Amino acid sequence: MDFKELLAYKKSFEIAMEIFELSKDFPKEEKYSLTDQIRRSSRSVSANIAEAYRKRRYVNHFISKLTDSDAENSETNVWLEYSFKCEYINQEKFDILNMKNIEIGKLINYMINNPNKFGCSI
């Protein structure tokens, strides 16, 4: 299996692209702060999942990269909350993205807790 087939990868890539599109409408003064931060953290989630999958031969490396992915996912959630509180996104959009973010976190944690199901030998 290719890492692009992993559900956590697919969903994290999808939300990163959604965030990219919506952040195009953030104020210009946020370009080098919130806009940059939320784009980078959201993209790092799927990137770290890809790296983890390639390191699955070594369970500790696999888990370490997934832990990084989980941390980036949590960071993205904080930036989403700032985006909402600063009124750059509305309640409905926040709720949708927040639920997707939570789901991605659960998928990542499932991978962390079940490395043997992803090709790691324990």
Q: Domain extents for the chain?
A: 3-24+31-114
- Is the Cα dihedral 104, 68, 79, 109 positive or negative? positive
Question: For 14-60, how does the pLDDT look when each residue is reduced to its tens digit (9 = 90+)?
Answer: 999 999 999 999 999 999 899 999 999 999 999 999 999 999 999 99
Whether the predicted pLDDT of 116 surpasses 70 = yes
- Whether 103 contacts 11, CB under 8 Å: yes
CB 35 within 8 A of CB 97: no
| CATH code of the domain occupying 3-24+31-114 | 1.20.1440.60
Residue 21 burial (10 A CB sphere; 0-12, 13-18, 19+): exposed
